[in-house]
């Protein structure tokens, strides 16, 4: 395993311990509302601090971009770690066991290493650019299905920004009509990992943040999938509008979404 990936794995497992210990007493956790439908708990903050500590201990000169504490060390640094300490906070605070720790490492702006750790299933998803994607050390690939009517597609509903809800619902209606089903599980990083290991056949969502998609997008690519924005172009990291699937399914999902853009 690449040494930088190894550091990320250790940081993710350590944060997983912090989160799972706290999950045993959910009623005691203080939760704040950042904006409409956007929550943060003290556990998000302490898990994030533990990840940052683990990383800076190994690589003190690297930059950090983390959901709760923002950017630090940018400037000279060629390496930047992109961290979501709990992806799926709404699930976490409801005791709904679908959330993950997401850690990615970018070198000169390109994601090179990725870890998504689901502490409830003890599923560790890892990827290194050019080396492949793995679930608990076993190689994973995107699904082989090609007929859209047999495909299950994951998505994320509009959360705090509701401005595009009508566009979204029109898309959802068409995807529901043309596929075997739609899943809204509530953690974007795991949605992407589920594409990477073929548990779902595709995924789309609007307005994600870099920490939601940095690690999961490399997992999809290294598992033989493709990531684009909603127009099939490469602006997904900037816009946060994302579609991910195997090449054949991706083309069909883009075709379904296109009339609504």
Tell me the pairing of strands 79-87 and 100-107: antiparallel
Report in angstroms how near the CB of residue 85 gets to ligand IPD at its nearest.
8
Q: Is 185 in the site for Ca ion (CB under 5 A)?
A: no
Among 88, 119, 210, 225, binds ligand IPD (CB under 6 A): 88
Counting every residue written for the chain, the total comes to: 261
Q: Is 87 in the site for Ca ion (CB under 5 A)?
A: yes
Report in angstroms how near the CB of residue 99 gets to ligand IPD at its nearest.
7
Site string for ligand IPD, 57-86 (x = CB under 6 A): ---------------------------x--
Whether the CB-CB separation of 133 and 139 falls below 8 Å is answered with: yes
Report in angstroms how near the CB of residue 85 gets to Ca ion at its nearest.
6
Specify the residue, 241 or 249, whose C-beta has the smaller distance to Ca ion. Answer: 241
Question: For the chain, how are helix, strand and coil distributed in percent, rounded to 5?
Answer: 40, 30, 35
Report in angstroms how near the CB of residue 67 gets to Ca ion at its nearest.
5
* Residues 81, 102: Cα–Cα separation, whole Å: 10
Among 18, 66, 111, 208, binds ligand IPD (CB under 6 A): 208
Residues 218-247 that bind ligand IPD (CB under 6 A): none
Q: Is 229 in the site for Ca ion (CB under 5 A)?
A: no
Q: Cβ-closest residue to ligand IPD?
A: 156
Q: Is 119 in the site for ligand IPD (CB under 6 A)?
A: no
Nearest to 245 by CA among 139, 165, 143, 95: 143
Specify the residue, 59 or 208, whose C-beta has the smaller distance to ligand IPD. Answer: 208
Tell me the pairing of strands 152-155 and 202-205: parallel
Whether the CB-CB separation of 202 and 175 falls below 8 Å is answered with: no
Q: Is 217 in the site for ligand IPD (CB under 6 A)?
A: no
Q: Is 58 exposed, middle or buried (0-12, 13-18, 19+ CB in 10 A)?
A: middle
Q: Is 31 exposed, middle or buried (0-12, 13-18, 19+ CB in 10 A)?
A: middle
Nearest to 228 by CA among 209, 212, 251, 211: 251
Site residues, ligand IPD (CB under 6 A): 84, 87-90, 156, 159, 186-188, 205, 208, 212
């Amino acid at each position: 395993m690449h040494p930088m990936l190894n550091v990320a794995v250790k940081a993710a497992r350590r944060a997983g311990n912090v989160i799972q210990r706290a999950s045993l007493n959910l009623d005691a956790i203080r939760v704040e509302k950042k904006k409409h439908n956007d929550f943060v708990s003290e556990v998000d903050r302490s898990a994030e601090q533990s990840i940052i500590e683990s990383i800076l201990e190994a690589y003190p000169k690297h930059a950090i971009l983390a959901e709760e504490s923002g950017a630090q060390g940018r400037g000279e640094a060629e390496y930047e770690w992109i961290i979501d300490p709990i992806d799926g906070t709404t699930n976490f605070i409801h005791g709904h066991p679908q959330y993950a720790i997401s850690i990615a490492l970018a070198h000169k702006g390109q994601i090179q290493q990725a870890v998504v750790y689901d502490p409830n299933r003890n599923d560790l998803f890892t990827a290194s650019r050019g080396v492949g994607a793995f679930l608990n050390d076993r190689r994973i690939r995107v699904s082989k299905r090609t007929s859209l009517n047999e495909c299950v597609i994951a998505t994320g509903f509009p959360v705090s920004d509701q401005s595009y809800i009508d566009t979204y619902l029109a898309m959802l209606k068409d995807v529901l009509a043309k596929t075997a089903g739609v899943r809204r599980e509530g953690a974007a990083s795991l949605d992407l990992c589920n594409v990477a290991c073929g548990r779902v056949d595709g995924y789309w969502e609007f307005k994600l943040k870099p920490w939601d998609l940095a690690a999961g997008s490399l997992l999809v690519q290294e598992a033989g999938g493709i990531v684009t924005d909603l127009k099939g172009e490469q602006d997904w990291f900037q816009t946060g509008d994302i579609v991910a699937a195997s090449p054949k399914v991706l083309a069909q999902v883009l075709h379904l979404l296109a009339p609504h853009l």
